[in-house]
Amino acid sequence: MSERQAQAHVTLDTVARRAGVSLATASRALNGTTRVREELRQRVRDAADTLGYIPNAHAQALAGAATNTVGVICHDVGDPYFSAIAAGVMRAAAEQGVLTMLASTFREPEREIAYVSVLRAQRARAILLIGSGFQDPSWERALAAELDPYVRAGGRVAVVSRHRSLRVDAVLPENRAGAAALAQALLTLGHREFAVLSGPSQLTTVSDRLAGFRDGLTRGGVTLRPGSVVPGAFTREGGHAAARELLARTPDPGSRPTCVFAVTDVMAVGALAAFREAGVRVPEEVSLAGFDDIPLVRELTPPLTTVALPLTAMGQDVMTLALREPSGRRSRVLRVDGEVVLRASTAPPAKDVLERRA
């Protein structure tokens, strides 16, 4: 490999590791979008020189003036939830003649901060965050440190899902209310023993949906038993692992919950596979419900009960918010209701199950 070819493979992440700083700090040190201690700036520049790091020429060209580009940062575009929202974002952008740049953080908070820093350097017209916020004060401070000067300089920011400390335009799905409504619908079917397959607790979407589900059960005089909330990654694999853990915790079929709520459809898809592998029939032995109504769940066997959100429309709405002219008024918030959709993955508890518990 030639020296030039070797240099072309040096990434900003490599420079950051060599300098012993975060990806976001390395980006700020090289693009000059915000103040960095001179000692850190010099360390990053020395690492870049040593490694032969070559900044993206196109990005450098864009950095000179505001562009008609909107940066879209999501947790994982491979997740159908985010891809459906991104489709709406891009449809609205195409109608406005705006170019979109899409980045996946894979739910790494530090990577999200770094991407925001890069988009600031490229003078993006707007930045969209279409994933759940993190309940982490240090992350919130770092994000605000990037976004506040960007907004003061005329940049626009809009988000999908709850971000506790950001005062920006937002499309907010009613996660708590939707989960509460789902719990009440499942109680109406006759269920009294529940389990929840939950995602990472630091995500606001997870905490809102879990709290809402508890709210709905409480109104029906039911509480979740200790150990009935099983955490897992916010993925199909996470749902599969959480469902297997739930089955391991309840080896006696008579002690198992009659209904399982996965806080996202993607986790429910993994749970359905785990139940099938273990010979547990859905819904005959356990009912299963999710949240989001991604297109895939209508084609499952059985089709999944869920809380439906208008995902593509949410993407269009957040882009519209980002492109609207600032008025000097308070941030605009669009609240989106979820609709409980009962499908064949849920049914009243089997009579023999109820008799065993009587």
* Residue 217 domain-assigned (yes or no): yes
Q: Say if residues 290 and 267 touch (Cβ distance below 8 Å).
A: yes
| 218 and 348 share one domain | yes
Q: What is the pLDDT, as a whole number, of residue 355? A: 57
More confidently predicted of 167 and 193: 193
- The Cα–Cα gap between 138 and 124 comes to 25
The number of distinct structural domains making up the chain is 2
For residue range 83-120, what is the model confidence (pLDDT) as tens digits?
999 999 999 999 988 999 999 998 888 889 999 988 98
With bands split at pLDDT 50, 70 and 90, how would you rate the model's confidence at 2? very low
Residue finishing a domain among 35, 55, 75: 55
In a domain, 27, yes or no: yes
Residue 271: which H helix or E strand, with range?
A: helix 265-277
Residue 40 counted as domain residue: yes
Handedness of CA 184, 190, 193, 199 (dihedral sign): negative
Contact residues for 172 (Cβ-Cβ < 8 A; gap 6+): 160, 161, 162, 333, 334, 335, 336
Residue 71 lies in a domain: no
Q: What is the pLDDT of residues 224-258, one digit of tens each?
A: 998 999 999 999 999 999 999 999 998 888 889 99
Are 36 and 179 within one domain? no
CATH number of the domain at 36, please: 1.10.260.40
Is 281 within a domain?
yes
Query: What is the rounded distance in angstroms from the CA atom of residue 267 to the CA atom of residue 277?
Result: 15
Mean pLDDT of 130-142: 85
Mean pLDDT of 185-194: 97
> Are 216 and 347 in the same domain?
yes
Residue 188 sits in a domain whose CATH number is 3.40.50.2300
Residue 259 vs residues 17, 19, 275: alpha-carbon distances, Å: 47, 51, 12
The answer to whether 69 and 100 have CB atoms below 8 angstroms apart is: yes
- Asked if the structure places residue 48 within a domain, the reply is yes
Residue 48, domain extent: 1-55
